[in-house]
Every structure is written in C-alpha cells, then in structure tokens.
Amino acid sequence: VWFAGARGSVATTTIVGSLLLRAGLARPVGCVTALPDFPSDGLVGVADLVFGGHDVVDVPLAKRAEQLVSAGVLPAEPVAAIAGQLGEAATELRPAPVSGDVVAAIAADLTAFRERVGADRVVVVNLTPTEPPLDPLPAHSDADGLLAALASSELRLPPSSLYACAAFVAGCSFVDFTPSPGVRVPAVAELAIRAEVPYAGNDGKTGETLLKSVLAPMFARRNLNVRSWSGLNLLGAGDGANLADPGARASKLASKDRVLAGTLGDVPPGEVGIGYVPDLGDWKTAWNLVTFDGFLGVPMRLEFTWHGCDSALAAPLVLDLARLVAAAHRDGRVGPLPELGFFFKDPLGDGPHGLDAQWRELTAFAAGLGQP
Amino acid sequence: VWFAGARGSVATTTIVGSLLLRAGLARPVGCVTALPDFPSDGLVGVADLVFGGHDVVDVPLAKRAEQLVSAGVLPAEPVAAIAGQLGEAATELRPAPVSGDVVAAIAADLTAFRERVGADRVVVVNLTPTEPPLDPLPAHSDADGLLAALASSELRLPPSSLYACAAFVAGCSFVDFTPSPGVRVPAVAELAIRAEVPYAGNDGKTGETLLKSVLAPMFARRNLNVRSWSGLNLLGAGDGANLADPGARASKLASKDRVLAGTLGDVPPGEVGIGYVPDLGDWKTAWNLVTFDGFLGVPMRLEFTWHGCDSALAAPLVLDLARLVAAAHRDGRVGPLPELGFFFKDPLGDGPHGLDAQWRELTAFAAGLGQP
Amino acid sequence: VWFAGARGSVATTTIVGSLLLRAGLARPVGCVTALPDFPSDGLVGVADLVFGGHDVVDVPLAKRAEQLVSAGVLPAEPVAAIAGQLGEAATELRPAPVSGDVVAAIAADLTAFRERVGADRVVVVNLTPTEPPLDPLPAHSDADGLLAALASSELRLPPSSLYACAAFVAGCSFVDFTPSPGVRVPAVAELAIRAEVPYAGNDGKTGETLLKSVLAPMFARRNLNVRSWSGLNLLGAGDGANLADPGARASKLASKDRVLAGTLGDVPPGEVGIGYVPDLGDWKTAWNLVTFDGFLGVPMRLEFTWHGCDSALAAPLVLDLARLVAAAHRDGRVGPLPELGFFFKDPLGDGPHGLDAQWRELTAFAAGLGQP
Amino acid sequence: VWFAGARGSVATTTIVGSLLLRAGLARPVGCVTALPDFPSDGLVGVADLVFGGHDVVDVPLAKRAEQLVSAGVLPAEPVAAIAGQLGEAATELRPAPVSGDVVAAIAADLTAFRERVGADRVVVVNLTPTEPPLDPLPAHSDADGLLAALASSELRLPPSSLYACAAFVAGCSFVDFTPSPGVRVPAVAELAIRAEVPYAGNDGKTGETLLKSVLAPMFARRNLNVRSWSGLNLLGAGDGANLADPGARASKLASKDRVLAGTLGDVPPGEVGIGYVPDLGDWKTAWNLVTFDGFLGVPMRLEFTWHGCDSALAAPLVLDLARLVAAAHRDGRVGPLPELGFFFKDPLGDGPHGLDAQWRELTAFAAGLGQP
C-alpha cells in the first residue's frame, strides 16, 4: 500500500493500526472486511500488507504518532510497544516529488517499492488534501498527449491526478479516498484501462454522509416527504483548514450531495455548511436538520449530531479498500469498481446510494473474490 | 376495517385520511403501499376500505376530528370539505362491549358489520391503550376452555386479547398495532389457526424505533462497537398518560428493546426513559445518545432528536396493514405474518430487525399477493 | 406607532396582537413591560397605541393576518373575532414613498398621521429587510447637506436611514429593530439631537443571540475557557430569502458577534452560518456548539437548538419598545437610549451585553420614567 | 481542607489541581475566585491550602490520579511532574472511621490534622456518595441528645451528618457538596451555632442545573411562558452507579428541582431522568427539552445537550468554597452562608436561584471578607 499523503492523520493511523493488529494489540473495530460476511481466503491478510508513501512534509512518523496519541486518536501504551516496528515502517516513507516529471518520479518510486518489499502488487491510496474541481481541457482527453504534456511541464494537474497517472503507469491499482479530480480526468481513466488495473473512489464515507445513506432511504421507504435537509460540519485539524478554501469546499459539498439525490430522487432544499474550528482537532461534529411531512401534511423534524474522529473512522476503511482492491487486481478486474460504493460518498458508476443496497453489492463482490 | 379504539387519534386520523384520499384532497404521504414497489392489483384499494369500530368513550367522530384540526394533526379546510362523509362514517362506530360475554358481543358486531357493508372480509385493528404484560396461566393454553371461561366470566383477559379472540371467532384477520398481550396468549393464537385467518403485529414502528432499525444496522455493518444506547421519549396526549403506568411502560420498553438485540447481537447498556409531557399533545420527542468505539478504541457519539406526530405516522401504516392483511386473508394465509415486520417494533416470528432486510421481505411478500 | 415595513410578519403580528390584547383575547406573553417589574403608570398603555405604516407591497392586512393564521403564528378564532378592528387599522397603512424627496414624503405622512389620530407623539419602528453595511462618505457627516442631497437625489441612502431622517425631521422618535445602517450615519444621528428626540436600536434580540447573552456570561462567571462557538441559523420566509444576500448577511453576522465580544472579552473561533430553508416559514432553527475547557484543560461541550417563531418573539418586544421610547420622548430624553440594550443584539452605546446587566439597566430606566 | 471521600474523583482532582496550580503547571480555569472580581487579599491563597481526608476505600492516591489520567480528566505529563508532592499529600489521607463513636473519631482526626499541619482552621468538605432523604425523628432536634445517642450507637445518621457533627465538634467549618442530609438535621445545625462556625451547601452546581439557573431567568425576564421542562442525565462512574439507587436519586432530583421553582415561580411539568451509563465514565451528558409559548400562544422549543466532566467542573469550585468558607470562619461568620448560593443546586436560605443574582450576592460577600 502506497500513500499519497503518508504522514497525514489517516495514513499514520492506518499504519499504526495495522501494526497494532498484527501485534495482537488491537481489535479490528471499524474494519468491515473483518466481519464474518467476508471470506478471509479471498482477501489479502492485514498482516501481509506493507506500507510506504510520499508526503510533502517530513515530520517523522513517530512524531506524528505521538501527536495522535496526545490528541486521543491513538492509544498511548500500545503505540509505545510497537515503536520498533514503527521505526521500520518509517523507512519506506519518501518526500513527494514536486518538480520535473513528477509522474515518472512517482512511478519510479512505486516500482522500486514493489521490488524492494517483494510485493505482488501495489495499491496507491490518495489521502492528499481535497482539491478544487478541475475545468475540463481538451488535453484531458488524450492519454498519450497528457503524459507527454505532463512530462514537459506544458500541463499541470493536481496531485490526485498525478498519483493516479503514476499508479497506472507503474501497473498499480488506485483508491481515491478524497473528492479530488483524480481519475475523473478522462485520459487518466484511460491509463487505468491500458494498464489493466482497477480503481475505486471517491471520497471516503465516514460520518455525516454515512448517516444520510441510511436515513434518506428510511424516509423514502416510509414514503415520507422530505422538505429540507440542512447541516453544518465543523472540523478542525488540517482537513478543516483546507476546506476553508472555497474551491476545496465546492468539491466536498458536491460529493456530499450525491447521496440525497441518489436516494430521495431530488436534493431537498437546505444549506450544508462546512466550518473550520481548530479546537476540534481530529474530531468532526456534524449537525443536520431534516424537516419532513407526514400524512396529511403534518410537519415533523429530525435532528442529529455526529461527533466522530475522522482518522479513526477512515483508517480501517483504508485497510478494507487496500485488501479488496488488491484482490480485485489479482483477479483481473480492470477499471472502476462500482461495487465498492459502500465506502464512498460519491461512488463510481451508477450504483445505489443507500447503504443497505451498497452492502449487498459489496458482500456479493467479496464473495466472488478468489473464485475461479 | 374494524378498530378497537375507534375514537382515538390514530383511528380518527386513519378514517379522515382515507376519506381525504378518496376525495382527492390528500396525497398518500406516509403510505408505504402507495410506493411504486407495490403492485396495486394485488391489494385492496384504499377507496374500497370501509371503517367501523368500538370505543369506550363516545365523543362524536366529528368532534375528535375538530380537536385534531386544532392540534395541527388534521388540515382544517379539507376536513371541513368532507364533513358529510365523516358523518356517514361515524354511523359505523359503536360503544365497546364491556360486560357479559364480551367476546361474543364483539364477534356479533363484527359479523353484522361485514354483512351490513357487504365486505368480503374484515380486518380488526387493535388501537386500544397499551396493557401490562400478562402472567401466563394454564387456562391460556386451551382454546375451547379459554372461550368458555371468558363466556362465564371465570377468566379475564385484557381488551387486546378479547378483540383478537372475537376477530378469530368471527373469521376476521387481526392486526395488533400495540405491544399489548393480544395474540401472545397461546390459546388465542390457536383460534386464528382454527379460523384459518392471518394476523400481524406487534406495536407499530413509528418513531424512535424506526430510527434504531436503520442506525443499529449501520453500526453493525461498519463493525463499529456500540458501547451504550440511551434515550428519553417524551409524549403527551392519551398515549403519554397511559404510559405513565409502570405496567404499560414495561410492555412498551420490552417492545422497543427488540430492535437492538436483533441487529447488534446484544442490547448495549443504557437507559430508555418514557416521560409524560402533556404540552406535547399528539407529538412525541425522542432523544437518543449512542456512544461507540471506532478503530483503536477511539470514543465517538451520535445524538438524535426525533420530533414526530404519532397519529400522522401511524395512520398511513394502518391503511397499509389493512390492505396487506386483507389481501393475505384473501390469498389463504393463516396464522402469523412475519413478513410484515417492517411495520412493527416487535415483529412476530424470527425475522430480521434491520429495516432494509424487512423491506426486502415486505416487497417480496407484496409481489406474491394475488398470484396464483 | 408608525412601521416601516407595515405589512411584514412582525408588524402584522404586532398590530393583531395589540388588538387582541385590547379585546381581552390574549395575554401579554412575551411582553417584558407587562411584568410586575415595570410600573404601568410611567408607560403608555398598550390600549392607547395607534398603528400606521408604510410598505412597498400592498397585500391587504387581513390577507397577511390570514396567512399568519395558516402558518400557525396567529390564532384562528381570536383573529376572526377582531376582523372589524383589523379592517379599521388597515386604513392607516400607506404605500411607501419611493421616488422624489422620499424623506419629505415620509415626514409628511408622519405628521398627517399624528394629527389625524390625535397622538401626542409618534414612534417610528424600522422593520424593513436587513440592508448591507454602508461605506462612509463625507456627505454622511453633515446634517443639512445630507437632507439637501437627499432632496435633490444627489445622494442615496437605504430605507432604514431615510426613515430615521424622516422621523427626526417630523419630530418623532425612532426604533431600529434591524441591523441596517439607520442612525449609524453620523448626520442622521445629528438630526435626532436637533429634533430633541430619542432613538433606540439595533437589531431585535429574539433567539440565538438572546441565548448567547445568558450563556456567555455563565461561562465567564464560572471562569470556564470558551474555545470555540459555532452555529447555524436556518430560517425561512422573507427574512431568510433576504439574508441569502451576502451584504445583508454581513450586517446580521456583525450584529450577532457583538454579544460574545462583549461578554467573553474575545470572540472565540467558530463559524456562524445563516441558511435559507423556505420550509421553515416563520420559524427559525438555530443550532450552536460551544466547546470549552474546564479545570486542567479538560475539553467539554454544550449544544443547543432553538426553534422559535420570530414574529411571535419580536412583536411583543416591538410593543415594549414603543411604550418605552414614547415615554422617554415624553420625558425629554434626547439621542440614543443605551438603557434599552436588553432588547437588542447590537445595543447603542457602551452598555453591557450580558442579559442580566441589561435587565438591571432596563428596570432602573423604567423606574425613572414619569418621575419628576 | 479535610475531605469526606478523599479518594474519589472530585477530591483527587482537587488535590492534584491545587498541586499543579502551586507548581505553575496549570491555570485556574474554572476557579471562580481567581477572577478579578475577587480581591485576593481577603481570601486564603490556594497555595496555602493543605489537604487531608477520610475514605472508606484505600486505593492509593497516586493510583487514583493515574486512573484519572487514563480517563482524560487529568493531564499526563504535569501529573507525572508532581509525583513527589502527590506522595506527600497522600500521607494525610486516613481510613474513614466506621465503628464505635464515629463522630468522636472523626473529630479527633480533624484536631490532629489541624495541629500537625499547623493550620489556623479546617474546612471539612463532604464529597461522599449521595444519601437518601432522612425521615425526621425527635432525636434529630436535640444537639446534646444526638451526640450522646450517636456515641452509644442508639442512633444512626448517614455519613454526611456524621461529618458535619464532627466538624462542628472539632470547631471546623463545613461544606456539603452533595444533596445528602448533612446539616439539614436540626440538631446538627445547632452544633454549628454552638461551635460558632459557618457552613455552606448544598449540592455543587456543575452542569445541567447551572444551565437552568441562567435559562430559566431568561424565560422569566422575557415573560415567555414555559410549558414543560424535561430532561435526561446520563452519567457513568461511581456517581452514576450510586444514583441508580432510588433513594439517592430522590435526593438528587429534589435538589435539581429547586432552581425552576425559584426562578419560574412554579416547576413546569416534565420528567427529569437520571440514567447510569458506565461507558460515560467521569463524563455526564444531560439533555433538556423546554417547550414554551410566545406571544399569542405560539409554541416554541429549546433543546440543549451538556457534555461535561463532573470532576473537572467540581474541583475548582471546591477550591473556591474552601477559600471562601475559611475566610468567613476567620471573619467570625456563624451558621449558614446563603451568599454562596452561586455554587449550589439547592442553596441554604431563601436566596435567589438565578445565577446572576447569586453572582451579585457572592461578589458582595467576597468584597466584605477581611474588612474590619
């Protein structure tokens, strides 16, 4: 598993968590593929995953883990107990290439990593900060032209798309855990087909949208008439600071809207705000108000407040996705994996947005892994 | 459709609502069987339902409708427009038999109603106040003995069970929209088998438990560890006053607990309170706090507040149940109908408690109605 | 009492409410000056108030009242009972002057109203939609020049300031129930001094800010360290539509911020959003999250949801302000009335922002009214 | 300062906190007497307080501190830095006398402590678990008889009253931070008068009631009509387990009710529940729903959720009370101190229940301390 954004909270929690699981110092809470519904023989074991990655910052992994211990995201004593393994894991983290032919540089690092650790295949997981939506350009439609233009610096793409390109060039699969452009650039998607590798995305569904994906179908199935759905997401840490940027916020809000359109038919009126509250740190508080009509137009309301730790919700899903996408790669799946919509706010393809329908697609997909 | 508790808020809303639907003055919001997933040809049309019922109070139906208009439960102008039809409907309401052989008296009223209105069959729907759990007695196990003992006043049963007995004796199907003993008395269930009629229950799922039935599966499928689930239900009106009684409260709380046990495996620790707040009138406010662990034991929380109008949530489900149970009766179904768990807090049989699994059972059941 | 915005929800509720109070069909709930803390002999009686006003729309008052009855803001039967008085009151409403020398036209209407109804004095209350903040101009500092420039259409001012000018020119007192520029234009304030009349404002404190004005002092007096204060205000109706405009929103948010700065010393970090949700109609739902530190840095939190009907909260305060400002005018008070900060989000002067300190100032002020 | 319940969370947090303050490792957040409104020269300095106490359990203080660090109540590194001082403080903790003449035994320990540490005076603070209300007995009215009966084991009193007796016998002042009987026994109060010492209580106001003491006056001053006030308190730890006992719960609920009666005139209808949720640990989550009428009977609502750490809220108040009561003792005050109502749910005397009026009484009281 190769992370773009390897020193961020999610990647650090994923690496530390997998070490703790391997050491028997943690239970796989939050890991969907650890449920009995998932046949373990079709999947790569968590213990067999090896991690590496790029980041633009160079704070040591042990330091990041320590910060997350202070923030209450990681448990103090177990983390102290795996200090050695963590130091070893840190040796596979590299500075992110930022100049020259970045795609080629990333791809070279991916190939070298795969060989060095003796992996059968590599899953690249994008965890870099959310980027604004990308205006389409003619150059985005031609795979060869795109690579050439990137190599000669005639064209610029955001990191999410650069990592996707590099993953495909190096024959790796790709997971976009963010709502950034990534594989949405047509030429990048074409590279995946050429490389005969699968990819999954977009935007990990960890909190408010997870709730929407069960509550909206509830209203639909009870034939209740949702009149408005409003909310405010308050988040601290780097994610909050980044989403204070209007462009990044636009990507995130568009991604969040999908679930209501996909389950209620229409997006009901209502504002969804995102607020940056540094004091919340790695936690996220989301409040939603749903107004709806019952029989004979009687007005009713539902409010909820979700108070979750994003890294702790995301990290086990990253492990799940690495296991599932690696298995799909092994089984020869190519291109988008719409069956993984369960994990995403804005799933690839035309699949369902209700969590239960996504669950059935996911378990059917998992049941087929490793089958002849 | 024959109501036990025909002048209560739910029955009045159901009768008024069906008249408004027939007159084209309302949309079937909240009616599950009005969704396109339900083939209308297998079901009795709402316009073909005729209502009658018993009640221990004798306030006129028009007066009850007026009170519900004042309370904001029914819309003023449309109700005024159907005053004539409402007056006609009121002629089928009768005082509840309370002395002598009550079962025989109810059964006679049911038979007379069926003949008078020319109905093919009658569904009896129990909407009487929640009763305490019943201690089992030997007399509860023998159908013939039970009827004889009731006839001679040697044995007493609560109204829910008396109505169930009478329904079965008169060859009618039965729906228990409450958590009362009803058909839970073995001899009463035996009467249904003998009469070759179906029955459904228990306890309409209208608010807090509806939410639990989608939220608990969400936690389970994300492998999140629910640490506690607590709540407070505040309700006014007659329902609130009745549930201030510890016995009735015990029935209600037991019924509410089923969904967590059925979806999370265990009932997590936590208190569920029921409070009587007259000012809430027909509305119910339920607050829930769920604490749960994510990856590596990180503590998180979810709170919700549901503010719903019980009658407006229950009435369309009563229409749905009447249509579905009448069709099942027509098709020769006998005994419990576990496929209708979607509608109930404490479904008959061993079916699922998650709303989506219940939905699939329900739609499969509906698809089979009217098929050869 | 002369309203700018006389056909809006607040003015209509105020007029209807005062007629109902006079007819003994309502209790003065929400009227602060009806509390025993206020000596009635120093104040104008509610029954002695006569209403008139301008509006840019011409929907009949009875129609507006009917809409508010449908919306649940006004009670149906009592309003029907005062239909005659309401028709009479409607004869004092006029189209708002919008061209020519608007200040002179308004002032002429004010003078004619005062004479026609035989009032001792007139209080002009601004209830027009919130306006954006005004960039200061040199012309804003010279009273004579301002009036001349307005008369010749060389200068434009927003309605709030035009009404303030006209009120002062006509010798009337003025209340700004909005956060609009109004008397904040220095030359307008000078006109009040010249006319020897008092004025009060700004921005009626009806909901979220009211709560902040008791909660923020609570944190301060317990020496708890507020780390962030975030919130979302959802509102429908015209107010919501108007506040969707960024300029108006800026005025409103600046006004809302004052209370935290005034009670906590600093405005803690946090976002305050305003969302337009048409389905909420005249109701407003505000959610706030406060994070704070206790002893030894322990993080804690407070959330609240306020669900209030703005017109029903504002109208009794408008009556209070009319009574108090008219009495101050009678008593010879000139210029700003900082003692009325209790009623406002952004009080004039340097008075306290905590509700209890404002209460003490208010009751001391009221005690002095009518005293030699 | 002598604690009854010296190894509980509140006492441990108080002792640790005062050591951290003294060492400059913490700021006095939550300490009311650290605000500039309190003249430091009239009060005993926090650094001059010495702690001792009794407990029925004998878990070492360092162990308790460690548990509170794990629970997130105490900060890890600063606590490690004062390990030495903590060990020293632990030497003043004693097993609680439980047999024989308990009053005499406690009094002896108090006298010995005062001499050993060279204190001018001792404040006894009751932090033992909440006790059920006490049925009045004739023996409760006679001070001499009471002491004799206790000495000969003819009469039993709960620990709160035993500690109060012993404090007064030993010439110490007394603070009841719980709603237990304590000084409510008339003969015990008589002992305070005889000993010429002051006492304060009852039941520290740390969370939900604190909010009520600002929100209820807000409704009253706005002349809004509170229709119901309901709530649920969820708490873990020992406090929660103890309050699962119906008797203790009755004491706590009676204490909580006082604030609404004292500020709204009547206690509005509504249920207040207390639930034990072990997972909450030292945290307490309280949800409240207030329904109220505005002008013309328009129904509105306020909900809040308070999520606080009880020990962190209580400990600084214990320091405040120790400083204030010691100063009152020094200044010759005798009997109840109603001016300290700011700190209590159920204040002694007939003082106000609104927080702001209590604040004014408190600051006036503090200003008078140490004055000739």
User: How confident is the model over B130-171, as pLDDT tens digits?
Assistant: 999 999 998 899 999 999 999 998 999 999 999 999 999 999
User: What is the pLDDT, as a whole number, of residue A241?
Assistant: 75
Query: Quick one: CA torsion of C129, C132, C135, C141, rounded to 10 degrees?
Result: 20
pLDDT tens, residue by residue, D75-133: 999 999 999 999 999 999 999 999 999 999 999 999 999 999 999 999 999 999 999 99
Q: Kindly tell me if the per-residue pLDDT of A238 is higher than 80.
A: no
What's the whole-number mean pLDDT along residues C300-314? 96
The band of A345, judged by pLDDT with boundaries at 50, 70 and 90, is very high
Closest partner residue to B218 (CB to CB) among A17, A34, A210 is A210
Q: Which of B236-240, D118-122, D353-357 has the lowest mean pLDDT?
A: B236-240
Residue B255 has pLDDT above 80, yes or no: no
Q: Is the pLDDT reported for residue D45 higher than 80? A: yes
* pLDDT at position C124 over 80: yes
Mean pLDDT of chain A: 93
Q: How far apart are CA C100 and CA B115, in angstroms?
A: 79
Any chain D CB within 8 A of the CB of B275?
Answer: yes
User: Touching check for D153 and chain B: CB below 8 Å?
Assistant: no
User: What are the tokens at D128?
Assistant: 């033992």
Percent of chain B with pLDDT over 70: 100
Helix D61-70 × helix D83-90 angle, to 10°: 130
Q: Which residue of A has its CA nearest to C292?
A: A279
Q: Look at residue A44 in the predicted model and tell me its pLDDT.
A: 87
Q: The tokens of A142 are what?
A: 């031609």
Length of chain D: 372
pLDDT of B24 above 90 = yes
Q: Give all chains having 3 or more CB-to-CB distances under 8 Å with chain D.
A: A, B, C
- Within 8 A of D302 by CB-CB distance, chain C residues are 211, 304-307
Residues found in chain B:
372
**D224 band by pLDDT with thresholds 50, 70 and 90:** very high
Tell me if chain B has a CB within 8 Å of the CB of D269. yes
* Interface residue B234 vs chain D (CB under 8 A): yes
Could you say which of A269, A285, A289 has the minimum Cβ distance to residue C285?
A: A289
> How many CB pairs below 8 A link A and D?
4
- Residue length, chain A? 372
Q: Are residues D312 and C300, on separate chains, in Cβ contact within 8 Å?
A: yes
Q: What is the pLDDT of residue D298?
A: 94
D299 and A CB contact within 8 Å:
no
Indicate which of B226, B279, B290, B304 best probes the interface with D, i.e. most D CBs within 10 Å of its own CB: B279
B109: nearest Cα among B101, B10, B328: B101
User: C296 to chain D: nearest residue by CA?
Assistant: D26
Given CB atoms, is B230 within the 8 Å cutoff of chain D?
yes
Q: Is A273's Cβ below 8 Å from some Cβ in C?
A: yes
| Interface predicted TM-score (ipTM) of this complex, two decimals | 0.95
CA D151, CA D103: separation in Å to the nearest integer? 7
pLDDT at residue number C217: 95
Q: What is the value of pTM for the model shown? A: 0.94
Burial of C276-309, coded b for 16+ CB within 10 Å and e otherwise, reads: bbebbbbbbbbbbbbbbbbbbbbbbbbbbbbbbb
Name which of A72, A303, A305 is nearest D72 (Cβ-Cβ).
A72
The residue among D116, D115, D110 whose CA lies nearest residue D168 is D110
Which region among A57-66, A151-160, B33-42, D52-61 has the lowest average model confidence (pLDDT)? B33-42
CB B171 within 8 A of CB B197: yes
Neighbouring chains of A at 3+ CB pairs under 8 Å are B, C, D
**Predicted local confidence at residue B220, as pLDDT:** 95
Q: Between chains, do A296 and B211 touch, taking CB under 8 Å as contact?
A: no
* pLDDT value for D42: 85
Distance, in Å, from the CA atom of D191 to the CA atom of A281, rounded to the nearest integer, reads 53
Q: Give the whole-angstrom CA distance, residue D43 versus residue D49.
A: 11
Higher-confidence residue of B241 and A295: namely A295
Q: Is B61 left (phi over 0), alpha (psi -120 to 50) or beta?
A: alpha
The Cα of A214 is separated from the nearest Cα of chain B by a number of Å equal to 6
Place of tokens 């954004």: A5
**SS3 of chain B:** CEEECCCCHHHHHHHHHHHHHHCCCCCCCCCHHHCCCCCHHHCCCHHHCCCEEEECCCCCHHHHHHHHHHCCCCCHHHHHHCHHHHHHHHCCEEECCCCCCHHHHHHHHHHHHHHHHCCCCCEEEECCCCCCCCCCCHHHHCHHHHHHHHHCCCCCCCHHHHHHHHHHHCCCEEEECCCCCHHHCHHHHHHHHHHCCEEECCCECCCHHHHHHHHHHHHHHCCCEEEEEEEEEEECHHHHHHHCCHHHHHHHHHHHHHHHHHHHCCCCCCCEEEEECHHHCCEEEEEEEEEEECHHHCEEEEEEEEEEEHHHHHHHHHHHHHHHHHHHHHCCCCEECHHHHHHECCCCCCCCCCHHHHHHHHHHHHHHCCCC
CB contact under 8 A, B275 and D275: no
Contact: B231, D234; criterion CB under 8 Å: no
Query: Per-residue pLDDT averaged across B326-340, rounded?
Result: 97
Q: Is residue D238 over pLDDT 80?
A: no
pLDDT at A145: 93
With a cut of 90, say whether residue A244 has pLDDT above it: no
Question: Which of C40-44, C62-66, D168-172 is the least confident region?
Answer: C40-44
Q: Strand, helix or coil at D276?
A: strand
Closest CA to C230 of D72, A185, A244, A266: A244
The alpha-carbon gap from B188 to the nearest alpha carbon of chain A, in Å, equals 31
Mean pLDDT of the region A331-352: 96
List, for residues B167-186, the tens digit of each pLDDT value.
Answer: 999 999 999 999 999 999 99
Give yes or no for B143 touching A (CB within 8 A).
Answer: no
Compare CB distances from B285 to D227, D285, D289 and report the shortest one's residue.
D289
Res. A329 pLDDT band, cuts 50 70 90: very high
C residues 304-343 closer than 8 Å to D (CB): 304-309, 312-313, 315-316, 342
What b-and-e string marks burial along D284-318, b requiring 16 or more CB atoms within 10 Å of the CB? bbbbbbbbbbbbbbbbbbbbbbbbbbbbbbbbbbb
| Residue C265 or residue C219, greater confidence | C219
Burial class (CB in 10 A: 0-12, 13-18, 19+), A364: exposed
**D262 has a pLDDT exceeding 90:** no
- d(CA B51, CA B22) in angstroms, rounded, equals 13
Residue spans of alpha helices (H) in A196-309? 208-221, 237-243, 246-264
- Give buried/exposed letters for D185-198 (b at 16+ CB in 10 A, else e): bebbbbbbeebebb
Residue percentage of chain C with pLDDT more than 70:
100
In the chain, the amino acid numbered D33 is T
Q: Which of C253, C249, C231 is nearest to C240 (CA)?
A: C249
Bridge partners, D55 (sequence order): D95
Give the mean model confidence (pLDDT) for residues C104-113. 98
Residue from B224, B295, B311 to probe the interface with A (highest A Cβ count within 10 Å): B295
Please, what is the average pLDDT of chain B?
93
